[in-house]
Chains A and B, each alone.
Chain A
Amino acid sequence: MAQTGLTRIGLTLGPLFFHWPADRLRNFYNRIADEAPVERVHVGEVVCGKRMPFSDPAWPEIIERLERGGKEVVLSTLAAPATVRERRAIGELCADGCLVEINDITALPARSGRPFVAGPFLNVYNEATAHFLMRHGAATICPPVELSLQTVGTIAAACPETEFEVFAFGRLPLALSGRCYHARLHGLHKDSCQFTCEQDPDGLAVDTLDDQPFLAINGVQTLSAQVHAVLADPADLVALGIRRLRLSPHGCDMVEVARTYRTLIEGRQDAEGARFLLSCLDLPGTLVDGYARGEAGSRAALPA
C-alpha cells in the first residue's frame, strides 16, 4: 500500500535479465539513482546463478547508491535455482530484512509470512492463487507476461489488499530452460560456458530462416525479439486495479524510457506520443503489445 493517492501509478525498474560486466552495472544504476523517475528498483540476478560471482560484489554499493537516490530497493531472486549454492543464495536473501522478489516457489518457505514481491516467473494465473500467495506475504504481484490487462484486472479486483504490477516495457521473458542456448550456439556446454552471454547486452537476436525477427536468447532464457510496451491510459490502468508498471532494463536509454512512462502516467503525454518517443530510442526490436490486449504477444502495437 505504498501508493496512497488512488489515481497514482508507480514505476518500477525490474531486474536486469542480461549479463553485464560489474562496471556497466555500477554506471547504469548510478544513473538510475540520480536521474530515473522510478520509485522502486529491483537488483540481483534472476536468470543464471553462474553469473552471480561476477555481479554479487557490485550490489551492496549499488543498493546504497539507489537508496541514497530515494529509490525503494527490491532484491530479486533466481527464477530457476538448481545448485546448492543457488538455493543457499535464495535462502540468505529471503532471510534478509530487505524486500525480496520471489521468482520460484523455492523461496517461499524461507520468506513465508513476511512481505515479498511475486515476480512474473511465478504462475499466478487466477485470483485463488493470488489469494494463497497473499496469505503467505505477497505484497506486490507482477503476474505472468502472457496475461492480458483485463485478466490482471479480474485478479486484482478479487484481491484489493494486494498491489498489482504489470510488465510494461522490454523484451518479454518467454521461457527458461535447463540448457544454455548461448553455450549451445558456441559449441560449449553449460558447465564450461565461458560466459558468452556477456557479448549480448540485450540478448542475441534469433531470426526465422525467412529473416523475420522472432526471439532472443540470453543464456538459459528465451525472450521476444520485439519490445513489449504497455502504453495504456492511466485512468484505464487505475480502473483495472493496476498500481505499478514494470520497466525491464535494456541497453537503450532507460532514463529516457522511464521519463516517457512518467509523462504518460501523469497525463502529460498520450499513448501515441509515448510510443513515438520510445520508437526513437535505440530499441532492440519493434514495439508490440498483443499480450496486453489478450492476443498473441507478437502482435504489433496498434496506433492509438
Chain B
Amino acid sequence: MSGSLELVCPAGTPATLRAAVQAGADAVYCGFRDETNARNFPGLNFSPREMAEGIRFAHGQGARVLVAINTFARAGDTDPWRRAADTAAECGADAVIAADIAVLDHMACQHPRTRLHLSVQAAAATPEAIGFYAKAFGVRRVVLPRVLSVQEIAALNRAIDVETEAFVFGGLCVMIEGRCSLSSYAAGRSPNLNGVCSPPEMVGYDEDAGGTAARLAGFTIDRYEPGEPVGYPTLCKGRFKAGDKAGYLFEDPVSLNAGSMIVALKAAGVTALKIEGRQRGKGYVTEVVRAFRRAVDAVERGHDPAEIDGMLAALSEGGRQTAGAYRKIWR
C-alpha cells in the first residue's frame, strides 16, 4: 500500500503505446482489433503481431502492458475471447483485464501465471464481490467502478487484499459500467454486447429552423442554437425533459479530472491511477501522460493537493471537468 502510485495509460494504437511509454507511463493498457475489447472503434487497437511488438517495446523501456479483453463473450461463439486471452498470454502481457466470468475462468484455468485484473465493466464494488473474484479466479487487482467516494475506497481497501486501480482522467460514465444497456436500447449496439456506446454509424445532425438536433438512431440527444458548438450525442450526456424540467438529466457534458484527489486516493490505499482515452491520438496521450507523470512524482515527493491540481489544470481543453463520485456530493 505504501509503494509509488502506478500510472496506467491508454494506448489505442502502437504509435500511442510508444508515445505513452516515452511520456512516462508505468503501464499501458490496450486491446485487440475486435469485439473482445470495450473500445471497439474503427482504426483503433492491435493485431496480435502489433501487440507482441508493443509489449517488447514497453518491456525494453521498463513499462508494463495490460491487455483489455473486457467485453462479454458472445453466446455460442466464445472462441474469439478465448483466443484473445491465449494470444495475450503468449505475447507476454503483464496482465489481462477482464470482466466476463467466461474470460476470467478461461484465464485462471489455462494461464494461471498471467496476472488477472478485474475490469471496471465487472462493476465489483464490495469486499464480498471482489473477494469472490479473487478466490475464484486469482484476480490480483480490481479497477474500481466510478461510483465510489474516496472514503468508500479507503474502507474497501482495508477490507480486501487485492490491489485497486482508480480512474483519474478522461471520459466519465455516469452509469455503472458493465450494467448499462442504454445504447443497445436506442441504437442496437452496446458496451457489453459489442464494445461500443452511442455508435457513430447511428449518429445524425439535422438542421431545422430551431438550430441543430444531434440524434442517435433517431432519438434527439441534444439540440443546439444556430452557431452554438455541436457535441457528440453520447446518450447519458444529452439534454432531456422530465417532469417540468429540461436539461442535463443524467450528467453535464463534463469529463473526469481527479487530479485534486490523487493525494487522497494514495492515502486511501489505491495502487494505480488510470487515464481513460484509448480512442485518443498520440498528441493528446503524450500531453496528458506527461502532466500526470509530473503530478504523480510530485505527490510522491509530498507536494500538496492544490499544487497537484494546478499542474493538471491546463489539461481541461476548455471543457468542463468534475472529480466525479470521488466527492460524495456528485450523487
User: Are A206 and B241 in contact, CB atoms less than 8 angstroms apart?
Assistant: yes
Select the stretch in A25-33, A145-153, A253-261, A262-270 that faces chain B.
Answer: A145-153
User: Are A185 and B129 in contact, CB atoms less than 8 angstroms apart?
Assistant: no
B289 part of interface (Cβ distance < 8 Å) = no
B124 part of interface (Cβ distance < 8 Å) = yes
* A250 nearest CB across to chain B (Å): 18
* B238 nearest CB across to chain A (Å): 8
User: Are A206 and B129 in contact, CB atoms less than 8 angstroms apart?
Assistant: no
Which listed residue (A179, A185, A214) contacts B245, Cβ 8 A? A185
Q: How far is the CA of A295 from the CA of B122 in the complex (A)?
A: 24
User: Are B105 and A191 in contact, CB atoms less than 8 angstroms apart?
Assistant: no
* B254 nearest CB across to chain A (Å): 13
Q: Given the complex, which residues of B lie within 8 Å of A80, measured CB to CB? A: 123, 125, 147, 176, 179
User: Are A105 and B129 in contact, CB atoms less than 8 angstroms apart?
Assistant: yes
User: Are A154 and B176 in contact, CB atoms less than 8 angstroms apart?
Assistant: no
Q: Given the complex, which residues of B lie within 8 Å of A189, measured CB to CB? A: 328-329, 331
Which listed residue (B101, B180, B242) contacts A185, Cβ 8 A? B242
B6 part of interface (Cβ distance < 8 Å) = no
B255 part of interface (Cβ distance < 8 Å) = no
Known A154-B76, A296-B217: A174·B181 in contact at CB below 8 Å = yes
B292 part of interface (Cβ distance < 8 Å) = no
Select the stretch in A3-11, A55-63, A128-136, A279-287 that faces chain B.
Answer: A128-136
User: Are A185 and B223 in contact, CB atoms less than 8 angstroms apart?
Assistant: no
B32 part of interface (Cβ distance < 8 Å) = no
Q: Given the complex, which residues of B lie within 8 Å of A79, measured CB to CB? A: 179
The interface size bin for chain A is 35 or more
User: Are B241 and A125 in contact, CB atoms less than 8 angstroms apart?
Assistant: no
User: Are B220 and A209 in contact, CB atoms less than 8 angstroms apart?
Assistant: yes
User: Are A123 and B99 in contact, CB atoms less than 8 angstroms apart?
Assistant: yes
Q: Given the complex, which residues of B lie within 8 Å of A181, measured CB to CB? A: 249-250
* A197 nearest CB across to chain B (Å): 12
* B250 nearest CB across to chain A (Å): 6
**Chain A 268-304 interface mask (CB, 8 Å, partner B; 1/0):** 0000000000000000000000110001111000000
Which listed residue (A108, A175, A180, A208) contacts B180, Cβ 8 A? A175
Which listed residue (A106, A215, A295, A296) contacts B126, Cβ 8 A? A106
B284 part of interface (Cβ distance < 8 Å) = no
Q: Given the complex, which residues of A lie within 8 Å of B147, measured CB to CB? A: 80, 82, 177-179
A235 part of interface (Cβ distance < 8 Å) = no
Which listed residue (B76, B132, B238) contacts A105, Cβ 8 A? B132
Q: How far is the CA of A133 from the CA of B213 in the complex (A)?
A: 45
Known A206-B241, A206-B249: A126·B78 in contact at CB below 8 Å = yes
Within 8 A of A (CB), among B64-106: 72-76, 78, 99-102, 105-106
Q: How far is the CA of A298 from the CA of B249 in the complex (A)?
A: 20
A98 part of interface (Cβ distance < 8 Å) = no
User: Are B102 and A177 in contact, CB atoms less than 8 angstroms apart?
Assistant: no
* B110 nearest CB across to chain A (Å): 12
In the complex formed, the residue of B with least CB distance to A82 is B125
Q: Given the complex, which residues of B lie within 8 Å of A109, measured CB to CB? A: 128, 131-132, 135
**Chain B 242-253 interface mask (CB, 8 Å, partner A; 1/0):** 110110011100
A81 part of interface (Cβ distance < 8 Å) = yes
- Interface size of B by CB at 8 A reads 70
User: Are A129 and B101 in contact, CB atoms less than 8 angstroms apart?
Assistant: yes
Known A175-B180, A208-B241: A128·B186 in contact at CB below 8 Å = no
User: Are A105 and B176 in contact, CB atoms less than 8 angstroms apart?
Assistant: no
A207 part of interface (Cβ distance < 8 Å) = yes
Which listed residue (A87, A108, A158) contacts B132, Cβ 8 A? A108
**Chain B 187-216 interface mask (CB, 8 Å, partner A; 1/0):** 110101100000000000000000001000
Q: How far is the CA of A245 from the CA of B10 in the complex (A)?
A: 42
In the complex formed, the residue of B with least CB distance to A108 is B132
User: Are A179 and B75 in contact, CB atoms less than 8 angstroms apart?
Assistant: no
B57 part of interface (Cβ distance < 8 Å) = no
B239 part of interface (Cβ distance < 8 Å) = yes
User: Are B249 and A146 in contact, CB atoms less than 8 angstroms apart?
Assistant: no
A127 part of interface (Cβ distance < 8 Å) = yes
B133 part of interface (Cβ distance < 8 Å) = yes
User: Are B243 and A204 in contact, CB atoms less than 8 angstroms apart?
Assistant: yes
Q: Given the complex, which residues of B lie within 8 Å of A90, measured CB to CB? A: 128
Known A105-B133, A106-B128, A110-B128: A129·B249 in contact at CB below 8 Å = no
**9 additional contacts (CB under 8 A) given A129-B100, A178-B145, A178-B325:** A105-B132, A108-B132, A126-B74, A172-B181, A172-B185, A177-B147, A207-B240, A296-B186, A298-B185
Q: What 6 pairs between A and B have smallest CB-CB spacing?
A: A178-B147, A128-B102, A125-B72, A190-B331, A296-B188, A297-B185
Q: List 16 A-B contacts (CB under 8 A).
A: A80-B176, A82-B125, A123-B99, A129-B73, A132-B105, A146-B192, A172-B181, A185-B243, A206-B240, A209-B246, A210-B220, A210-B223, A215-B240, A217-B249, A291-B184, A296-B188
